[in-house]
Structures are given as structure tokens and as C-alpha cells.
Homo-oligomer: A and B are copies of this chain.
Amino acid sequence: MKSVHKVLENPRGVLKNSTSRKPAQRRSADDRSADILAAARAVIAEQGYEKTLIADIARRAGVVDGTIYRYFENKRDLMVKVAEVWFGEQLLMDSHLDSIHGTQNKLRHLAWRTLSIVRREPVLARFMLMELRPDPNYRNSPFFEMNRKFTHEVLQVCRDAIASGEFVNDISPNMLRDMLHGCIEHRTWAFLRGEGDFDIDEVADGIAKLIYRGMLAQTPATRSDVEAAVARIEEVASKLERKLQS
């Protein structure tokens, strides 16, 4: 049960002395909100979100701590909104998957795309991996929706390949997606921990290759296939033989 400030008779005001307040720098609500978001992003980019204080953001935005709470529920809400804009920008940089042909190339491209976002914006990547995804209501967050696009593309490539008979159908597309994303994330963590850099092309290539090969439909040849082949050979041979005799 939290104590409520409302009914107390001016608990803060009574102690106030005559310190003159600065005039409020008024701006439109949208501008203010954008200012704070921009300031937050700048501070986060500089020092990492974990070391970022509300006070830092407020100073940078030219406002006072309390003002931030007029525009954002709390610190986390602000952080999430920052990441939302930031991540949105990254998604716009996407190149079109449609123009790429071949299942393996598509897989490679999907891996490559995510890895290149990680490389471009490690702080954002870290924030998403550490804060956003573990969140219990991640599935209802705007990020889940944004990520759906990625996920959907992977699943589509996989389903197409299964439908065309290129891929086996005894492994679920979801499994393939988990492998693709999981492997990328594993690599991302190592990168974010600073365990040396990684070659985007090499990693993307390896992932795509392994998955592609693993999923490739390989109907084993049956005995009758071989018998048919032998029969055909004998047929050809005897035809030649006849020709030789004539």
C-alpha cells in the first residue's frame, strides 16, 4: 500500500524558500517529446543504456528530471520508445529479399541482414537482446510486431522450399527459424562481449550453407532405381551390339 501524496497539506510547498525558478522553456508537446527521445538516444549511444541516468538525459535535453515524467511513464518506457524509433530506422535500410534468387542465397541474405544491423548498432542490439526480448510481454510489444517481418520471411522461404520439394518436410520451419536466429544471436553475444570481431559474410555464408544442406530433400535411390538403370544400360549395350553385327 503506497502512501499517497495528494491529501497531505502541501508537504513539499511549505518548506520552499523564495528561490526564483527559471522561466519555463515552453515548446509543443511533440517537440518536447522528440527532444527527450533524441537526448536519450544520444546519451545511450555514448555510454550504453545501463549507465544512462534520467538526470543525464534531462540535462542533455535541457529540461529537468521531472519533466521527463510528463512525457513518459517511467525510465523503461522511455528506453523502449527510444529503441522503437532506432530499430525502425534500421528496418528501413533493409534490402528487398524478392530480388534474390535461390533458397540458399535467400537464407544467406536473411542472416546477413541481421548481422549487419548488429554491426552497425551494437548498443541497440544489446538493448534489444538484454531488455526487450526477455520482457514477459514481449509478444505484445511493438518489437515483436517489427520482428514478425523477419520471422515471417524466414518461414516463407522455408515453406516455399518445402512446397517445391526442395526441402524435406520432417523438420518444422520453426526449427529452422530458431536455428537461424539462435546462431546469429550466439554470435552477436560474443561480438558484444568484445570477443573479437566477426566477418559478416563468412558467418552468414556458414549459416546458410549448413541450414540449406541440412534441409535439402534427398530421396535415397531405391533398388528398383538401380535395377532400372542397369536395364537401360543393358538395352543400350545390346542395341550397340546389334548394330556392330549388322
Contacts and interface: CB of A to CB of B under 8 A. Distances in A.
Nearest to A168: B213
B210 A176 contact: yes
Interface stretch (A33-41, A56-64, A75-83, A185-193): A185-193
Interface string A209-235: 111111110111111011111101110
Nearest to A233: B233
Interface residues of A, number: 61
Interface string A163-201: 000000011100110110111111101001111000000
A111 to B, nearest CB: 11
A161 interface: no
Interface of A: 126, 129-130, 133-136, 138-139, 170-172, 175-176, 178-179, 181-187, 189, 192-195, 203, 206-207, 209-216, 218-223, 225-230, 232-234, 236-237, 239-241, 243-244
